[in-house]
Amino acid sequence: MTEKPAKRQRWTVIVPLFNENHTLRALYDRLKSVLDGVCEEWEFIAIDDGSSDDTYTTLLTLRATDKRLRILRLSRNFGKEAAICAGLRAASGDRVVLMDGDLQHPPEALIEMTAIADQGYDVVYGVPRKRRGESRFRSLCSAVFYQVFAQTAEVKIELNASDFRMMSRRVVDALNMLPEQTRFMKGLYAWVGFSQQGIVYDVEPRQAGRSKWSFLNLCTYAWSGIISFSSAPLRLWSVVGSVIATGALFYAAWIGVSTLIYGRDMPGFATLAVAIFFLGGLQLISIGVLGEYIARIFDESKGRPLFIIEVMHGFDESQ
């Protein structure tokens, strides 16, 4: 653990936003009330991740009344992970808070996070209680993902840990040093290490709109996490190939012995066709898994930036 922080600190709150105009004012008001009570100096960095509603206009209106609100507007929708990275690189606080803009991460939980962080923890992360209205199927899929990730990944992430978290300056600096283009932030939070402690919080119902994460998006995100932190899928197909090859050898031996003893049987076209299609399918799947890793290498080799900032407000005193 780190030493207990000094009383006076500068905080940065990072909130990625994508079409969150309807909750933005309420979020700002609640955050301001909490932050004014737990720290003496703070900044609120809002990242407009290519919103198509009035999110950016509302941010400009709020900034006109409070210069502690700083705005990063990205040139298009780069995704939540890229927006978080943009905020982390712009953050100047001694403590940095990450939270969503839909008010499902309650700002009041920062009071408990502060008490834990003051004990010397570098990371305090939120663990949501079961979400109201979440289907059993979705909960089951989430549990399966965490179990698979725990068994295959090089790092261990806390069960159901969310992006709602408070981090020390050195954790943020460590995250900003990572050069990779494809980001699975939950894995990166665990990979950088440092002392971490979780708190349980109640997930509030959405004030407006609907989740931007469809079931397909969540599946893609989960697969991306496994590919980013594990080579187990590649090893799996090596094992499958070895098992099939071994089985084929035993089957060939059995055919040879049975032919010598009982004579030759009539050719089995159906068996041959099934074997060809089965092995062909396995080969295509294994090639697809290998292709996923090659695609990651290709993306990293291009060296494109994670995001492009269209306009900034509050990071230059003239703005």
- What is the per-residue pLDDT across 2-28, written as a single tens digit (0 to 9) for each? 544 444 578 899 999 888 888 888 888
- The residues, any chain, with a CB within 8 Å of residue 201's CB and separated by 6 or more, are 105, 106, 109, 112, 126, 127, 128, 129, 164
- 316 burial level (CB within 10 Å; 0-12, 13-18, 19+): exposed
280 within domain boundaries: yes
Q: Are residues 91 and 210 in the same domain?
A: yes
In the prediction, which pLDDT does 5 show?
45
Query: If you average pLDDT over residues 46-57, what whole number do you get?
Result: 87
Residue 197 pLDDT grade (very low, low, confident, very high; cuts 50, 70, 90): confident
Q: Are residues 152 and 273 in the same domain?
A: no
169 within domain boundaries: yes
Please identify which residue in the block is written with the tokens 């599946």: 219
- What is the per-residue pLDDT across 284-307, written as a single tens digit (0 to 9) for each? 777 777 777 777 777 777 777 888
Q: Are residues 91 and 48 in the same domain?
A: yes
225 within domain boundaries: no
Distance CA 170, CA 187 (A): 17
Query: If you average pLDDT over residues 258-273, what whole number do you get?
Result: 63
Q: Are residues 297 and 309 in the same domain?
A: no
Q: Are residues 116 and 64 in the same domain?
A: yes
Nearest to 11 by CA among 113, 134, 104, 135: 113
Which structural domain, as residue segments, surrounds residue 141?
10-214+305-313
Q: Are residues 14 and 148 in the same domain?
A: yes
- Token duo for residue 140: 């089951």
Distance CA 241, CA 168 (A): 46
Q: Are residues 154 and 237 in the same domain?
A: no
- Range of weakest confidence among 47-51, 162-166, 200-204, 258-262: 258-262
- Range of weakest confidence among 35-39, 66-70, 133-137, 271-275: 133-137
Q: Are residues 205 and 236 in the same domain?
A: no
Residue 312 pLDDT grade (very low, low, confident, very high; cuts 50, 70, 90): confident
Q: Give how far Cα 183 sits from Cα of 136, 152, 299, Å.
A: 28, 18, 12
Average pLDDT, the chain: 77
CATH code where residue 130 lies:
3.90.550.10
Query: If you average pLDDT over residues 144-171, what whole number do you get?
Result: 75
In the prediction, which pLDDT does 318 show?
39
Q: Is the pLDDT of residue 132 over 60?
A: no
Distance CA 96, CA 43 (A): 10
Selected residue with higher pLDDT from 266 and 98:
98
Q: Are residues 142 and 127 in the same domain?
A: yes
Q: Which amino acid is at 145?
A: F
Query: If you average pLDDT over residues 270-278, what whole number do you get?
Result: 66
Query: If you average pLDDT over residues 193-207, what whole number do you get?
Result: 78
- What is the per-residue pLDDT across 66-75, written as a single tens digit (0 to 9) for each? 888 888 999 8
In the prediction, which pLDDT does 105 show?
85
Residue 266 pLDDT grade (very low, low, confident, very high; cuts 50, 70, 90): low
For 153, phi then psi, to 5°, come to -80, 160
In the prediction, which pLDDT does 6 show?
47
Query: How large is the angle between the packed helices 136-152 and 215-229, nearest 10 degrees?
Result: 10
- Token duo for residue 168: 């020390």
- Range of weakest confidence among 190-199, 209-218, 308-317: 209-218
3 within domain boundaries: no
Q: Is the pLDDT of residue 152 over 70?
A: no
Which DSSP string corresponds to 247-278? Answer: HHHHHHHHHHHHHHHH-PPPP-HHHHHHHHHH
Number of domains in the chain: 2
Q: Are residues 100 and 195 in the same domain?
A: yes
DSSP code for 135? -
Query: How large is the angle between the packed helices 269-302 and 232-262, nearest 10 degrees?
Result: 160
